[in-house]
Amino acid sequence: GAGVSQSPSNKVTEKGKDVELRCDPISGHTALYWYRQSLGQGLEFLIYFQGNSAPDKSGLPSDRFSAERTGGSVSTLTIQRTQQEDSAVYLCASSRAGGVGEQYFGPGTRLTVT
């Protein structure tokens, strides 16, 4: 079946603009995670959705970042008033449930803020 898909694959934006990144998880996966990897850094957790529960937003770096998951499926990560330090690869992952088990990753969106 189809894996996790993300769009766009690349995004170049000017500082101060808003961007939206999209994630389509694997069908039937109830857990969805967003991570980002900045240049030379490891992957950093951003936000977690599990079913209809309130999302775990503990990893969001500032209030410019927000995410939603509509209908328990597609998720959108929004970054408002982008800054150069937001430049990174944003990765989405899904898993069958929030329990133990591997997370399946999409190819990522490379965001460059100029």
Partner 1 sequence: DQQVKQNSPSLSVQEGRISILNCDYTNSMFDYFLWYKKYPAEGPTFLISISSIKDKNEDGRFTVFLNKSAKHLSLHIVPSQPGDSAVYFCAASFAGNNRKLIWGLGTSLAVNP
Q: Which is nearer to partner 1, 14 or 99 (CB)?
A: 99
Judged by CB under 8 A, the stretch of 13-21, 40-48, 62-70, 73-81 that binds partner 1 is 40-48
Verify binding: residue 79, partner 1, rule CB under 8 A: no
68: Cβ contacts below 8 Å, ≥ 6 apart: 75, 76, 78
Neighbours of 66 (CB within 10 A): 14
Verify binding: residue 65, partner 1, rule CB under 8 A: no
Burial of 72 (0-12, 13-18, 19+ CB in 10 A): middle
Verify binding: residue 91, partner 1, rule CB under 8 A: yes
Judged by CB under 8 A, the stretch of 13-21, 60-68, 73-81, 88-96 that binds partner 1 is 88-96
